[in-house]
Amino acid sequence: MNEPVIRKATEHDVATLARLRREFTLEGGPIPSPREDFDAAFEEIVAMGLSDGRWTVWVADIDGEIVSHAFIGLVDKIPRPTHEHRWIGYLTNVYSRPAFRGRGLGGLVLESVKTWASEEDVELLVVWPSEGSVGFYHRHGFVGNADPLVWMGPNAPG
């Protein structure tokens, strides 16, 4: 296996991201009533979000294949009378394809998210983890004992 490239997703990645979102959902079991327009709706919403900056998606790419990703939605904070503009980031989750788990790829993606969040003046990242992923997020600096877990950026008020 070649070294992973950790990068931001582009609009060219949206169809692959839709497939991975379906895989992630199916890991929880069969979908009782699948959404027939899922691909079109996903592609429209995510492509628009990537284009206008509301969504940022970080991926681990190995030999041109996306094997891990993290979606971050940015939410405006109410402005304060200061010079900085801050965001709150909603981290949907970090997902790695089953065949690529245990290799640290999700951690590499999450650390890239945190670096980017610090550079973009994101005050904090919020995630509602699954029961099995709490330890993963704790290892990467998220705090809390219940939903949600929070990572505080370096510029967050103490």
Give the per-residue pLDDT at 66: 98
Cβ pair 123, 72 in contact under 8 A: no
Query: Does residue 91 lie in a domain region?
Result: yes
Average pLDDT over residues 27-49: 91
Give dist(CA 88, CA 75) in Å, integer.
5
pLDDT band of residue 145 (cuts 50, 70, 90) is confident
Query: Does residue 157 lie in a domain region?
Result: no
The total number of structural domains that make up the chain? 1
CATH number of the domain where residue 90 is located: 3.40.630.30
pLDDT tens digits, one per residue of 9-34: 999 999 999 999 999 999 888 888 88
Query: Does residue 158 lie in a domain region?
Result: no
pLDDT band of residue 49 (cuts 50, 70, 90) is very high
Q: Is 153 helix (H, G, I), strand (E, B) or coil?
A: coil
Owning domain of residue 141: 5-152
Q: Is 64 helix (H, G, I), strand (E, B) or coil?
A: coil
Query: Does residue 86 lie in a domain region?
Result: yes
For residue 78, give both structure tokens: 């109410």
Query: Does residue 73 lie in a domain region?
Result: yes
Give the per-residue pLDDT at 78: 84
